[in-house]
Amino acid sequence: MAELTEVTDPRFLEGIELWTLDEVRATRDDLAAIETGLSYLRRVVQARLDIVFAERSQRESGESAGASGLVEKLPEILGSNLRSSGTGRLNTAFIPTRVPEELDRRLEAILPASRVGVVSDLSTDELSDAAQSLADLELLVSSERRQVFDVIDRLQDEIVRRYKTGEATVETLLA
């Protein structure tokens, strides 16, 4: 199984034309699992960022109601960014099996799950730092995800090329 750092290395697909069709397909499927994990992680980062922004907004408006106020507003807070500006690809798997550990650790270092419900306890500076760090992490995760999509596309292009040139046939699928 490939790791995210391998996949995003420009040399990852060197010699792809020498890989077997099964290797190309297996690698594509493995990367789809990585992409699902990145997609999940991006949504978690965005949710935490939305909660931090909501707390900051409450403070700025002077209506800070603490954790109970945020809890009451969670459906509104988390429902406001359901549409991304991404490629529009629909995940076929919704349970992440391969969340990149390093990125997950970074998220937990910024705002651990155990502190999300009590962001109202953070100082204004801590809240601002968390917002900036979460925004930076969201950009990083999105960038990594785009790179994985690019590699998946190259793998898919290789499969298509093989069928077009006759190197692979439909009969090999049925065998």
pLDDT for 112 equals: 94
- 40-45 contacts at long range (C-beta below 8 A, 24 or more positions apart): 40/96, 40/99, 41/96, 41/99, 41/100, 41/103, 41/104, 41/107, 41/141, 42/138, 42/141, 42/142, 42/145, 44/107, 45/107, 45/134, 45/137, 45/138, 45/141
13 assigned to some structural domain: no
CB 141 within 8 A of CB 42: yes
83 assigned to some structural domain: no
- The answer, as to whether pTM is greater than 0.75, is yes
- What tokens appear for 34 in the block? 């990585």
Digits of tens for pLDDT over the chain (175 positions)? 788 889 989 899 999 999 999 999 999 999 999 999 999 999 999 989 988 998 888 888 877 655 555 556 655 665 665 455 555 554 455 566 788 899 999 999 999 998 888 888 899 999 999 999 999 999 999 999 999 999 999 999 999 999 999 988 887 666 5
26 assigned to some structural domain: yes
11 assigned to some structural domain: no
118 assigned to some structural domain: yes
pLDDT for 86 equals: 52
Q: Please count the structural domains in the chain.
A: 1
Query: Domain range holding 125?
Result: 21-78+96-174
Query: What are the phi and psi torsion angles at 36 (to 5°)?
Result: -60, -40
7 assigned to some structural domain: no
